[in-house]
Amino acid sequence: MPNSTNHCTWSFKCVPLCTVQSLEKKLSYRGLKSMGIIIICKDVRAVKLILSDSSKGLDAYRQLNDLIFPAFRSRELFAYAFGRQCLEQNRFVAEGWDVYDATAEYHRQNIVNNGWRISAVNEDYSFCDTYPSLLAVPVDVSDDLLIQSAPHRANFRVPVLSWLHPESRASLTRASQPMVGLQNRRNSADEQLVELIRTANANTSDLLILDARSQRFALANVAKGGGVENVSYYRDITCKFMGIQNIHAMRASQTKFMEACYSQSDKNWFKMIHECQWLLHLRLLLLAAKEVAEQIENHKRSVLVHCSDGWDRTAQIASLAMIMLDPFYRTIRGFQVLIEKEWISFGHKFCQRTGGPADGGSPFTSPLAGDLSPLPLTRSNSEERSPIFLQFIDCVWQITQQFSGAFEFNESLLITIMDELYAARFGTFLFDCERQSRVYKARRQTVSLWAYINANRHLYENPTYVPAESSGHRVILPNHSVSSLRVWIRYFLRWDPSLQCQEPVNNASLVQKMENFRSLRSKHSQNGIVRHLSTAP
């Protein structure tokens, strides 16, 4: 870890253990009697160690492997040791875990005055262990109805509210797939729940169910007990399939994309970028999110989003759509709330998707006293790894490139979030769901990433930011075509030595531009000119 606790700067010499993805050894390196150890990192670094004595090299390799990938966990996670140190020294303890409050966020959306209510049916996580403790549902939906409908949805993830339009009352809800199966099962409670979501919006007669999957793969899930909503059973619904591929296809795409990033040759670089289809996957995600935003904003139509389990593609689409629809989520604090709400509380499997340090081994701290039983963490296999959250962050970066003045934060915030996700020194992304985080006392014994970011807020502010109330643009709809997307150089290629040389020059230039802009903005803010300053000078 860096020596400084005020600012985090990773380098080739500073590799957090949790960031390491794999180790490779070459017994004869470049024809010499030496040995090479290659450390492949999750953040697109490849660190090469050359040892002149191959026997000592093998010993070093074994020691590194045992340290990074232990067979048994004998120590507490670093996030807990770091958290204890911070608490003792009173560092990063404010404004972190308190950033997101579900009740406050639902009240910000004014749902209780617009036909919705907050349910505590999942207060002890016995209703759905991967959902948050508080859920928002139409006011006419009883807890009994939720309980009756739960078995019809994969992992009991019933349709609940993510976002409500402030004027039209069109809603964005999320769920998992219905468990239809080969028997074409139906559930009257689920049908009634979807109907009440539809009728909660008086502006349109029908509800759009946006299925992130392709129709072919959605129907293939029928053989596994899943499937899609039968339009004969649900009144006034329309289903639309977006053709976004599953976690395995995304992992394969990332692997090829990383190979392109590691490549030292220019000869086939563009071909490699094209064949990995990374930008194509981003395009489909942005297209789906844009479809949701357009339906809600322009057609006042409520949308229910789901994929298979409701914690990967569903989180991507819902959160991207909310960024397009609500300027609050384009602020520094609002973006933190969005991630806490749509990703962490709704059970995106951060630990399994990234191979995080909490994935497997014995419990490393005592569970809470009371009615919550210990939750074992079973090691997942590599098939569970997938760059779902990275794709979301990349999509956000793509949107910031098209609407630079619409975001209060800069790309350094996005990079820091990804770096800390893999480094795992904070408790924010350690677990797969809200319940796990509570059982293992993350809030009490670790530090939140948001506390660190908010303590260094000046590093993440965008000087060209113009609030929506000044610009007059509440909703932003990005261009999703591949021609409008680009490779995120400052993240994926930042370890290239040639770019490392450019960094000090670029940073100095950026600092000067920021100072000039702030001076100009301060000078003219009283004259109302600031609303026109939406791009950097």
Q: Is residue 98 part of an annotated ligand binding site?
A: no
Residue 263's identity, in one-letter code, is: S
Catalytic residue among 86, 261, 307, 433: 307
361 in a labelled binding site: no
Is 313 known to sit in a ligand binding site? yes
Among left, alpha and beta (phi > 0; psi -120 to 50; other), residue 419 is alpha
According to the annotation, is 308 in a ligand binding site?
Answer: yes
Q: Which amino acid is at 322?
A: M
113 labelled binding-site residue: no
Relative orientation angle of helices 278-298 and 269-276, to the nearest 10 degrees: 50
Q: How many other C-beta atoms can be found within 10 angstroms of the C-beta atom of residue 417? A: 22
- 451/457 Cα distance (integer angstroms): 10
Tokens 């702030």 belong to residue: 518
Segment holding 41, helix H or strand E:
strand 35-41
Question: Is residue 246 annotated as involved in ligand binding?
Answer: yes
The span from the CA of 279 to the CA of 479, in Å, is: 13
Phi, psi torsion values for 263, nearest 5 degrees: -60, 135
Is 317 annotated in a binding site? The answer is no
Determine the Cα–Cα distance for residues 432 and 180; give it in Å rounded to an integer: 26
Q: Please report the sign of the dihedral spanned by the C-alpha atoms of residue 36, residue 41, residue 47, residue 49.
A: negative
| Phi, psi torsion values for 48, nearest 5 degrees | -110, 130
Estimate to the nearest angstrom the gap between the alpha carbon of 303 and the chain centroid: 21
Asked whether 243 and 211 are in contact (CB, 8 A), the reply is: no
> Cβ(353)–Cβ(388) under 8 Å?
yes
Q: Does the annotation list 309 as a binding residue?
A: yes
Ligand-binding site membership of 310 (annotated): yes
Among candidate residues 408, 346, 420, 343, the one with its CA nearest the CA of residue 2: 420
Whether 307 is catalytic: yes
Annotated binding site: 221-224, 246-247, 307-313
Annotated binding site for substrate: 221-224, 246-247, 307-313
Catalytic machinery residues: 307
